[in-house]
Amino acid sequence: MRLAVLWAVLCCCKVLYGQQRTRVTGQLMDKGLDVPISNANIILESSSQQFTVNAKGEFELNLSETGEQMLQISALDFITKRYSIYLDGNPIDLGIIYLERDIAREQTDNLITLTEGDLSDDFESVSSTMGLLQSTRDIFLNRAAFDFGQAFFKVRGYDSRNGMVLINGVPMNKFFDGRPQWNNWGGLNDVVRNQEFTNGLSINPYLFGGILGNTNINTRPSGLRPGLRLSSSLSNRTYNGRLMATYNSGERPSGLSYSVSASRRWANEGYVEGTLYDAYSFFGALEYQFNPKNSVAFTSILARNRRGRSSAMTEEVFDLMGAQYNPYWGNQDGNIRNSREREIFEPIFLLNYTLDTKKLDWNIGVAYQTGTNSRSRLGYYNAPNPDPTYYRYLPSYYINSSIGADFVNANLAKEAFLEDPQLNWEQLYTANTNNADKAAYLLYDDVTEDKTLTVSTSFNAHLGDLIQLGLGGNYRSTSSENFAEIQDLLGASFHEDLDTFSDTLNDTQGDLQKTEGEKFNYHYNLDASQMEAYAQLQLTSKTWDGFVSAEYSNQQVQRNGFFTNERYLENSFGPGNQISFSNLSYKAGLTYFLNGRHWFTATAAQMERPPIVQNVFINPRENNETVPDLQQEAISSVDLGYFVRLPNLTGRISAFYTRFQHTTDINFFFVDSGLGSDFVQEVITGLDRLHKGIEFGFEYEASSSVKLTAAGNFGEYIYASDPSIQINFDTAGPEEDLIAPEGTIDLGVAALKDLRLEQGPQTAIALGVSYRSPKYWWVSATTNYLTNNYINLSAITRTPSFLIDPETGEAFPDATEENVGHLLRQKKLEDIYLLNLVGGKSWLVGGKYISLFASVNNLFDTVFRTGGYEQSRNGNFGQLRQDNQSGSPSFAPKYWYSYGRTYFLNLAISF
């Protein structure tokens, strides 16, 4: 009996000791102005616990942990500080903690410039993930965004559709391609920099999330630093100049707060020739706080962006003209005119209600977005191709002639191209003048007008100290009108709305003759809706954290045609079938804390998602036909990590394995295949992708002024299956010219398994050093090495049809495995070496902050290829071999080239 009593007493003592808490207090102050800092976050690094401060910058923490721990203190626009504390039950008063303004935030402005402008719209498959990562303090992800991004590096090789972007808890990714459209809030850096990023499969308070991570942009005025900020920027990248003004009222006694911001960005020509930039952005937000726990906010974002686009080019064109060449523009009346411009204006309006208590967080958001996304291009009808880089205008056309190389005409073509390498607008007007008022050439816009309504809610309840329950969901509905619109008839009076290849009507019920401002060629609507609901449970203890999360989603999409296309009389006009997908997804994670300085994580997910709308319909511009036997995509992902937080060393190393299954892709091109020649829609189904690798990032604080960083990624991203290939084409032409009278043919499987994916460099390493002076200036340098970058493959050339001679219908006798393998060897791009410099200086003058920021990317002015793709024109062995014999093929791969040395300079003053 006595032994039992003694045992009970010991257990009680142990429990009481385990529940012993340490009280930690302090106050945060602005180092320059000596005023309190509110809206700061304090994180206990050995756990998932986060704390906030009050309006006076004061905080009081009651921590149950024991031993040596690290506190991380961060606030918007200030440098993060880390404090080592020892918890033993005795109160700790940290006193006044001064935080220094972080002028390095201007680097984010430079990053957003890269995100908006670097990619050609014809190569959206390399859509950058840089913008998604701008808010993270993770060392590796920081390097991925600010350094590796210049080479279009993708974290883990993931497309940006795998990361969600939210504004005030409302999802913003597009239905059509699943990606966020950063231009929708471009130029509003001051009011969108308050961001919360969750990496990878980590639990998220607003939604189930994607495997790349999630960024929530908080635009509530109460969360923005009060005051007026004016800034001016210079750059030689996408825009040359920028002016921006922002005013935040801050929290007021009345409970009412507001923010306004505006910016203007411009360039007659960016780094690439002929790429104009013209953008205006406006922001307004109003918030009313009924009390410290309840608030309602209204936000409006209006960002208009117009810019000239550039083109990928073959090595032949690059050798003749260099990396800054762009064939899309020409001079007209002494002014630069780009034939391919993109203009985006899609205003966003949000209404949010927020409840924030110690036990419950609840957010409700409603967003409405409408507007236009248009892309211009030249159309030509029974007339020569106006593109100066058209293959018949280049020297290689004569060198690769089927009757033998013609070097005389090749040299003449070279001289003619060098003399007049740009688009000739005058010739287009002349051709129309001589064509009896009918347009041989015209400039038109491919227009998308979306109307999207989103309702979102998230509910997080703290069920005691150890358990947190999260529930939420969202509903999105989009009506997307798509059409071509005549912008400029270039001197002609009308255009005949016919398909010139088959001489058939695009709009049988409309007028044959179309004029400026009228819709032509195609006109249809895509209606899509999606519902998502999730639940998640998080458990916390001293030595481990764990979570489980599940989501159910349902998506529906339908096409409704407004034109009756003569080539598809039966299924072009009116509504098509409604396509529906139901999906279930699960994920779970566990964190084990070895102690306050070392911990391990493991997360895993099994997810289903519908294919993006872009890959549901085979050719939505002309008919309602959908991809046959369409499946939802499946994603399996595992992530293991080790984290270290020592007083002078922080970082992590992670291993990842992700498999994408049942994906679909659709491509459009003209092909000379082994079965015939036509303009086709290539449908790829059953495509699996495998992404695996290791990534790491470490920072060592050598002194109070000097920091050293090392970050890197060793990845392998490959095709994990041999997908099925089907080609589709219209049957309106002469029967003898058809590949097949059914309008579709199954080409079997493409031999892609184990070949590398075109997902940017798969290996990247960065070493950096930074110095921060007590006199408020800093400088940093980063050297980067990137390799294992491969171009996108042509799937049709890796099908059995590639081996067939279209003249005989039999296999080419010399199409041996060795010869075919040599011809189709996947091209690896050159290794990349980059040195980037960043620096800044700040002054406090009469209570006003003045900051100067400068960055130089690619200091040594290196030119390298950032990506590319194989052309599919030569779709049979004999033709591809003939084209490659000279060493300068007419249909060689096309590449995107890097910018050389670029700079960004920003001067700002804050009141």
Tokens representing residue 474 in the block: 């969202």
Q: What is the pLDDT of residue 112?
A: 41
- The contacts of residue 822 (CB under 8 Å, 6+ apart) are none
Q: Which of 738, 757, 595 is nearest to 665 (CA)?
A: 757
Q: What are phi and psi of 547, to 5 degrees?
A: -150, 155
Sign of torsion over alpha carbons 886, 888, 890, 891: positive
Cβ pair 554, 582 in contact under 8 A: yes
- The contacts of residue 209 (CB under 8 Å, 6+ apart) are 164, 198, 201, 202
In Å, the largest CA–CA distance within the chain is 114
Tokens representing residue 377 in the block: 């291009």
Cα angle 630, 632, 637; round to 5:
145
Q: What are phi and psi of 516, to 5 degrees?
A: -60, 135
pLDDT 10s digits, 66-80: 777 878 887 777 778
HSE-CB of 223 using CA atoms within 13 angstroms:
21
Query: Three-state SS for 123?
Result: helix
Cβ pair 588, 607 in contact under 8 A: no
- The contacts of residue 829 (CB under 8 Å, 6+ apart) are 789, 790, 791, 864, 865, 866, 867, 868, 895
Residue that is written with structure tokens 């303090």 in the block: 137
Strand segments (E) across 381-518: 441-462, 467-488, 495-496, 498-499, 504-505, 513-514
- Please state at what angle helix 106-117 crosses helix 139-146, rounded to 10 degrees: 50
Q: Which of 675, 777, 612, 638 is nearest to 159 (CA)?
A: 612
Whole-number Å distance between alpha carbons of 668 and 119: 20
Burial bucket for residue 148 (CB in 10 Å: 0-12, 13-18, 19+): buried
Whole-number Å distance between alpha carbons of 52 and 45: 15
Cβ pair 483, 510 in contact under 8 A: no
Whole-number Å distance between alpha carbons of 446 and 562: 16
**Other CB atoms within 10 A of residue 566 CB:** 18
**In sequence order, what DSSP letters do the residues of 777-832 get, joined into one string?**
EEEEEEEEEEE--BPBPPSGGGSGGGGB-TTTSSB-TT--HHHHHHHTPPPBPPPE
Whole-number Å distance between alpha carbons of 656 and 695: 8
Burial bucket for residue 635 (CB in 10 Å: 0-12, 13-18, 19+): buried
Burial bucket for residue 574 (CB in 10 Å: 0-12, 13-18, 19+): exposed
Residues with pLDDT less than 70, the chain: 1-20, 32-34, 46, 48, 103-136, 733-738
Tokens representing residue 504 in the block: 């058939």
Q: Three-state secondary structure along 31-85?
A: CCCCCECCCEEEEECCCCCEEECCCCCEEEEEECCCEEEEEEEEECCECCEEEEE
**In sequence order, what DSSP letters do the residues of 350-410 get, joined into one string?**
EEEEEEE-SSEEEEEEEEEEEEEEEEEEEEESSS----TT-GGGSHHHHHT-TT---HHHH
The pTM of this model reads 0.90
pLDDT 10s digits, 334-361: 999 999 999 999 999 999 999 998 889 9
Burial bucket for residue 244 (CB in 10 Å: 0-12, 13-18, 19+): buried
Cα→Cα distances 624→52, 459, 500, 524, 627, Å: 54, 40, 22, 10, 10
How many helices (H) does the chain have, and how many strands (E)? 10, 46
Q: What is the pLDDT of residue 735?
A: 59
Residue that is written with structure tokens 């009081």 in the block: 60
In order of their start, the domains of the chain are 2-100 (2.60.40.10), 140-156+646-911 (no CATH)
Helix, strand, coil percentages for the chain (3-state, nearest 5):
15, 50, 35
Q: What is the pLDDT of residue 16?
A: 37
